[in-house]
Amino acid sequence: MSVNDVTTNEVANAALSCEGIVKSFQGVVAVNGASFSVPEGQITALIGPNGAGKTTVVNILSGSMKSDGGTEHIGSTDVSNWESYQIARMGLMRTFQLSRELGGLTVLENLLVAPKTQSGESLFNIFFRPGKTKREEHANTQRALDVLQTYGLYALRDNRARELSGGQKKLLEISRAVMAEPKILLLDEPMAGVNPALIEKIGGYILDLKAKGVTILMVEHNLNVVEKICDHVIVLAEGRTLATGRLSELRENKEVVRAYLGEVIDASSAR
């Protein structure tokens, strides 16, 4: 199935969709009716100039922030204004633009927090079903160590997360989300403040996740990266969805260029 098929059928295959999301902060409108859908099993980029409301949209979709209006669906389930943890349990995981590591925990523990249902999180199980808890913990630890190996953090597993470098925190952020086995992954600027070598590497990780069937929506303003790894692009400007499609098409789209460089001042060329 080609990318074009997906875009034409996107409603049918949408893993995540939103309609008319509105959010303002003290009278200043940040998101103004954003609507789009994220095709299943693809990598979708969410791009747009500063102040377009990209991060706010991610916050609303992941439940970290309540919207003022609009609806959100994961698959066919209406999850509008659900709590953050409920959305996470639907299989949607997110990362944060500025890495938010759990600083007092070790790298390994950061990952071990992630699995959604752990019987060891219940007081009853800790004392009355220790066997089950222990087996689960061992399986999770094994998997966490595997994930850490994949993301090159294995050697740092016993370091406190707050001691990591900026780039390592970025990787931790992604591996922690992966540990939760997401169906949908929201990446908020995974490449921001990252050196070129690591950008290359993270790009590879994201493609691997796609190969495993994870649906990905990533906010990204490095368009080289978008071009290389994203199947589908959503352009957000002034809190609204401006255009969707492939990056090569969008580059020729006057409105998109305008959103990035400013409105074309010459009235004749401005449609």
Partner 1 sequence: MTQVFYYVFTLIFFLFDYFILAMGLNIQYGETGILNFAYIGFVAIGAYVTGAVSLPNSVGTGQHYILGLNMPFPFNLLIGGLTASAFAVLVALISLRRLRTDYLAMVLISLSLVLYDICNNFVPLFNGADGLYNVPAPLAGVLHLTTNSFIPVIALVTGVIAMFLWWVMSRITQSPLGRTFRAIRDDETVAAALGKNVFRKQLTSMLIGSFYAGIGGGLIIQFGGSFNPSAWLPGETFVVFAVIIVGGVGNNVGLLMGSLLVETLLVHLPAFLPAIPGHPGLIEYIDAMLIGVLLMVMLWFRPQGVVPERVRKSTVIDKLLLNSNGASAVGESLHDEEATSVSQ
Partner 2 sequence: MPALLAENVTAGYGRTPIITGISLTADVGTITTIVGPNGAGKSTFAKTLVGILRTTTGRILVDDVDITKMPGHLIPRNGLVYVPQNDNVFKSLTVRENLEVGGFAAKGDSSERMEHILSIFTDLAKAREKKAGFLSGGQQNLLAIARALMVEPKVIVLDEPTAGLSPAYTDVVWNQIEIIKNSNTGVLVVEQNVERALKHADFVHIFVAGSNHVHGPASEIAVLDLASIFLGRAEAKRS
User: Given candidates 122, 224, 249, 254, which one binds partner 2 under the rule CB under 8 A?
Assistant: 224
Choose the one of partner 2, partner 1, none that binds residue 185, judging by a C-beta under 5 to 8 angstroms depending on kind. none
Residues 46-75 touching partner 2, rule: CB under 8 A, are 49-51
Here the tokens at position 75 are 């698959």
Taking CA atoms, 44 is separated from 95, 125, 186, 245, in Å, by 15, 40, 10, 10
CB 120 within 8 A of CB 148: no
Q: Does 68 bind partner 1 (CB under 8 A)?
A: no
Cβ closest to partner 1, residue 170 vs residue 240? 170
| Alpha carbon distances (Å) from 10 to 3, 6, 132, 236, 244 | 10, 5, 42, 18, 11
Nearest to 72 by CA among 31, 113, 29: 31
Q: How far is CA 29 from CA 22, 168, 219, in A?
A: 8, 35, 20
Instruction: Give CA angle at 170 (245, 235), nearest 5°.
Output: 15
Least distance from partner 2 to the Cβ atom of residue 60, Å: 17
Site string for partner 2, 147-186 (x = CB under 8 A): -------------------x--------------------
Task: Confirm if 230 and 247 have CB atoms less than 8 A apart.
Answer: yes
In the list partner 2, partner 1, none, the entry touching 238 (Cβ below 5 to 8 angstroms by class) is: partner 2
Q: Does 267 bind partner 2 (CB under 8 A)?
A: no
142's enclosing H/E stretch is: helix 130-150
What tokens appear for 37 in the block? 């859908």
Q: Which does 14 bind (CB under 5 to 8 A by kind): partner 1, partner 2, none?
A: none
- Please report how close the Cβ of residue 163 comes to partner 1 at its closest, in angstroms: 10
User: Is 227 near partner 2 (CB under 8 A)?
Assistant: yes
197 binds partner 2 (CB under 8 A): no
Distances (CA, A) of 225 to 16, 168, 208, 241, 259: 22, 19, 15, 21, 19
Stretch that binds partner 1, among 20-28, 125-133, 213-221, 237-245 (CB under 8 A): 125-133
Contact residue for partner 1 among 37, 42, 62, 241 (CB under 8 A)? 62
Nearer to partner 1, 10 or 189 (CB): 189
Residues 237, 240: Cα–Cα separation, whole Å? 5
- Which residues contact partner 1 (rule: CB under 8 A)? 62-64, 83-85, 88-89, 93-94, 96, 100-106, 108-109, 112-114, 116, 118, 120-123, 126-127, 133, 137-138, 141-142, 145, 148-149, 152-160, 165-168, 171, 176, 180, 194-195, 197-198, 201
